[in-house]
Amino acid sequence: MNILAMLWKNLWGGSRTMLFPARPKVTENYRGLVRFDPALCSGCAVCKMRCTAKAIDFKSGKGEFTWSYDPGQCTFCGRCVDGCKAHALHQESACPPVYTTIGELKVAYTVARKPPAPRPAPPAAAPADAKEQAAPPAAGGTE
């Protein structure tokens, strides 16, 4: 009769419900609010494309871009973080805060575009046949 023992324990163990200001403990890998580091962002807008909840918006301007994030719409799926090659996004390991007005937690960053990185020198022309000139080094260079 394990269930009866469990009920008895619950009956005297008090409730597990937390009253408002208290928040549950979270694990290290908890997926909370998305944090943005403008210094690392390359402005590729992959995060916007990956965001199915439309919480991330990206507007491109002249010589700059605006990255904005609305936690109210975020589902904390972490797809933006996974897709960010420049590691400019990460998720807080804390419960999202409670807020009372719509858009209170919304953040926007306007970041100046970095000058394109100088193209690496093309690899020395191989004397061998053209089959070896595959795409990977070239693709890496555009990043």
23 binding another protein? (CB under 8 A): no
List alpha helices for the chain, DSSP H. 2-12, 46-50, 79-83, 136-142
Distance, in Å, from the CA atom of 83 to the CA atom of 47, rounded to the nearest integer, reads: 6
7 binding another protein? (CB under 8 A): yes
Distance, in Å, from the CA atom of 74 to the CA atom of 77, rounded to the nearest integer, reads: 8
Q: Which listed range, 6-14, 67-75, 83-91, 97-105, lies at the site for another protein (CB under 8 A)?
A: 6-14
* Nearest distance, CB of residue 21 and another protein, angstroms: 16
* Nearest distance, CB of residue 22 and another protein, angstroms: 13
How many other β-carbons are positioned within 10 Å of the β-carbon of residue 70? 17
* Nearest distance, CB of residue 101 and another protein, angstroms: 27
Q: Which residues bind another protein (CB under 8 A)?
A: 3-4, 7, 10-11, 13-17
